[in-house]
Amino acid sequence: MRPPPRPSSTRAPASLRELRMPPMKSTMSKRKLKESVEESAECISQVQKILRERFCHYCAAGKLFGMKQQYSHLLELLKRTTVHGESNSALIIGPRGSGKTALLNHVLEDLREMNQVRENLLEVHLNGLLQTNDKVALKEITRQLQLENVVGDKVFGSFAENLAFLLEALRRGNRTSSCPVLFVLDEFDLFVHHKNQSLLYNLFDISQSAQTPVTVIGLTCRQDILELLEKRVKSRFSHRQIYLMNSFDFKEYIKIFKKQLSLPAEFPDEAFAQKWNNNVQHLSEDKTVRDVLQKLFQHTKDLRSLHLLLMLAVSAVTTHHPLPTAADLQEASRQHSSDSRANIVHGLSVLEICLIIAMKHLNEVYDGEPFNFQMVYNEFQKFIQRKAHSMYNFEKPVVMKAFEHLLQLELVKPLERPSARAQREYLLMKLLLDSSQIMEALQVYPNCPTDVKQWAASSLSWL
């Protein structure tokens, strides 16, 4: 998933300007300051534009890291298809964010620039999320190939007619005279679920027979993809698999970090670019930055998370804070790794916190067995009666209301769907929080009464 677009470059500095103003003022005269602010505002917006494009449209402009071999394999494959008219099929397999689409796009871009290839390759791009069945897929293929039964933007005719037409079209061609066709099947694993896998069968069958040269490239993140193919389809697939594994170590990761953050040589303001790149170099040697990166690297090698982190850090850059610092990165990392559910707990009322603690105790007592509202209420009553000094004894409907709020926040989840017959008090529930999460949340909960904290630590604390 792509990170949501950052606030635009003009707005971000405006909101942050006042915060960062005082330290700058002391060093510069007012007039000078204004000029340099104007100047650097230009640069900053440029920088943010470049980096935003780099991080958000990863596949289009991003660079390839650690996939030289795969790149040359794929390039050779497609080149042979276009130049020699050789049919092929291949799968590009790799976890999400490992650069499958980026690799393909790079190869296609380079391919289109070659002289022998230009205008000599028809491309058909399908996506398993869009072409959910063969009927839709066939129409899309016909449309993209601009075959003769396409009228305007629409393909007419029944499913059977379309299939027959397309197969006939592809069958008529031969290796030397027809224009090669490249089929790119994104989310390849979803095509496997089509009825009889007939689209895949036909595509692979064409690629294995003396018809129009086609190359079928599938992109998927599933490692078990070959097991999903039907045996006939599997036999027709050439078993060429290109794996993208993020197989780089931390040193390379740092290099990637530097490359991703540094400005290109063609940046208009050379001085600023120089300054920025020096800063990046400096950052990459910084201990805290390295720690932050190390932590991220240990969690995931996915470059998209790195981009997300950098995006958070870079959006802190303003005219008065023109270069990102280690602190920015640390803050970004903190945001990046924060626990979303625990954050919700911070915003709960004391009563709701108490209910959660009651549930936690129930979980401990009954070893994770489901509970209902009545049990929670009884537990809460016990606490109120024996221990609580600061807590007001709420009416049952009020407690119920609080409980339902927790339900809405999905901190509690009913085991079965609430039906009209069952009373709400007795619906079985489960708590969707771990006790460690609750304790952590309580640590940072503002103005938490001490008796509640004590109760949370041990259900037997009143003894």
Partner 1 sequence: MNTRQQTKLIYSWYGKPLSSDRKLRTSQYKGIFITSESTKTETCIQLGDFILVEGVNADQPYVAQLMDLYEDGAQHKRAVVQWFCRLEEIPQNKRKLLKREISAQEVFFDQILGYDTDIAAETIIKSIMVLPLHLGEELPVITLNKEQTFYVKQSWDGKCFKVLSPDTFSKLKEANKKRGVITNSSKAFVPSDILTPVKKETDSVLRSATKPKNVDMEIESKHSASKSSLAKERHSQRVAKNDIKTPTARKKLELSSPTRSKGRLLGSEVLGLLDDDCDAIAPLKTSATKRKVKFTSDTSGSPPKIPCSNDKAKSTSETAEHHQRFSDTIRLSPYTRVKDFSGKDKNLHEKDDVLSSVGYQKPSSQSPVLTPRSRRACAQKTSALIAEQISMLDQEDFLSGSDSSYSSSSEEEEDDDVPCTPEKKTKSSRVFSTPKSSRKSAVHTPVKTMKKTPSQGTPRTPRNATPEIPRRIQAAQEPTSVLEEARLRLHVSAIPESLPCREEEFQDIYNFVESKLIDGTGGCMYISGVPGTGKTATVHEVIRCLQRAAENDELPPFQFVEINGMKLTDPHQAYVQILEFLTGQKVTATHAAVLLAKLFSTPGPKRKTTVLIVDELDLLWTRKQNVMYNLFDWPTQKHSKLIILAIANTMDLPERIMMNRVASRLGLTRMSFQPYTYKQLQQIISSRLKGVKAFEEDAVQLVSRKVAALSGDARRCLDICRRATEICEFAGEKRTPEIVRMAHVIEAIDEMFSSPYANAIRNASLHEQIFLKAILAEFRRAGVEEATVQQIYHHHVALCRMEGLQSPTVSEIMAICSRLGACRLLLVEASNKYLHMRVRLNLGQDDVMYALREE
Q: Which amino acid is at 356?
A: I
Rule CB under 8 A: say whether 113 interacts with partner 1: no
CA distance 380 to 395: 12
CA distance 154 to 139: 8
CA distance 205 to 210: 10
Rule CB under 8 A: say whether 157 interacts with partner 1: yes
Contact 183, 148 (CB under 8 A): no
Closest CA to 204 of 247, 236, 250, 246: 236
Q: Which two tokens stand for residue 8?
A: 């635009």
Give the count of residues interacting with partner 1 (CB under 8 A): 95
Q: Which of 241, 284, 330, 381 binds partner 1 (CB under 8 A)?
A: 241
Rule CB under 8 A: say whether 342 interacts with partner 1: yes
Q: Which of 173, 218, 322, 324 binds partner 1 (CB under 8 A)?
A: 173
Q: Which of 17, 258, 290, 341 binds partner 1 (CB under 8 A)?
A: 341
Residues 364-403 that bind partner 1 (CB under 8 A): 368
Residues 259-298 that bind partner 1 (CB under 8 A): 295, 297-298
Least distance (Å) between residue 180 CB and partner 1: 7
Taking the least distance from each CB to partner 1, the nearer of 37 and 214 is 214
Rule CB under 8 A: say whether 335 interacts with partner 1: no
Taking the least distance from each CB to partner 1, the nearer of 261 and 411 is 411
Residues 52-81 that bind partner 1 (CB under 8 A): 72-73, 76
Q: Which of 71, 201, 394, 462 binds partner 1 (CB under 8 A)?
A: 201
> Which span sits near partner 1 by CB under 8 A: 26-34, 262-270, 332-340, 349-357?
332-340
Closest CA to 73 of 40, 104, 38: 104
Instruction: Please write down the long-range contacts of 49-55, taking CB distance under 8 Å and 24 or more positions apart.
Output: 49/9, 50/263, 50/264, 50/267, 51/261, 51/310, 51/311, 51/314, 52/5, 52/6, 52/311, 52/314, 54/260, 54/307, 55/3, 55/260, 55/307, 55/308, 55/310, 55/311
CA distance 357 to 176: 74
Rule CB under 8 A: say whether 258 interacts with partner 1: no
Rule CB under 8 A: say whether 180 interacts with partner 1: yes
CA distance 175 to 173: 7
Least distance (Å) between residue 84 CB and partner 1: 5
Residues 397-456 that bind partner 1 (CB under 8 A): 410, 413, 430, 432-434, 436-437
Q: Indicate if the alpha-carbon torsion angle 377, 378, 379, 381 is positive or negative.
A: positive
Taking the least distance from each CB to partner 1, the nearer of 13 and 180 is 180
